[in-house]
Structure 1
């Protein structure tokens, strides 16, 4: 199922340090991201696909539908070689939070966002696989 990501997710925008070498950055452009949710003791959900225009070095939004973490800010962004990690923490008591780890490739990325839905005591992991599919087109959502 092809979905078009239409809302800017500031939740997981990840900017690289200026000192990172160009070969460690994934190129800007349009990325097709296949994603699914894994829940403990439950078979993974059906994969979905979103097209995202990446103009910064890395943009890793939470893509799952109806997920409060898609609207929450990223923090503790760390970069070590081709590995990027960050936390997402929503405001308020019993709020949702997540820890993310992404592995960069020359043509894309693989990542896992381990989420805890706070007061619901529910945990799940969003698994993402992104690959560059070309340049961004007019009308594509920009990160």
Structure 2
């Protein structure tokens, strides 16, 4: 393997280890030493891939969001072409996909908050990305962004 391939492999192993460890026992309970032991790399190699645990958490969180967005987007595209149907399909798929793996749910909704303000921008970007999917769906259906499914009563 080339140096770049070895670095990519170590990075991927750290992300995989962090995905499980950040979910359980949790972000604050997971040390760099434990991450490295689980990923079977040296502590020095950690810093070749990431600058901090928060940086690694950002990579794990970003991947969770990316996968969730892809799944939600696909569900919306397969839904009937009404705004109500697309919104319901998107929300249902979000809930299904995030809860299908408890690690994903914990990383996206609990541990990312525990990682601190460093990741608040990442959470805001995720909300903006989900908003963009809904807006794109509405434009594709050529429907206004008002819907009867959001009205109470």
More helix by share: 2
- TM-score normalised to the size of structure 2? 0.21
Instruction: Give the number of the structure with larger relative contact order, counting CA–CA contacts within 8 Å between residues 6 or more apart.
Output: 1
Larger-gyration structure (1/2): 2
**TM-score calculated relative to the size of structure 1:** 0.22
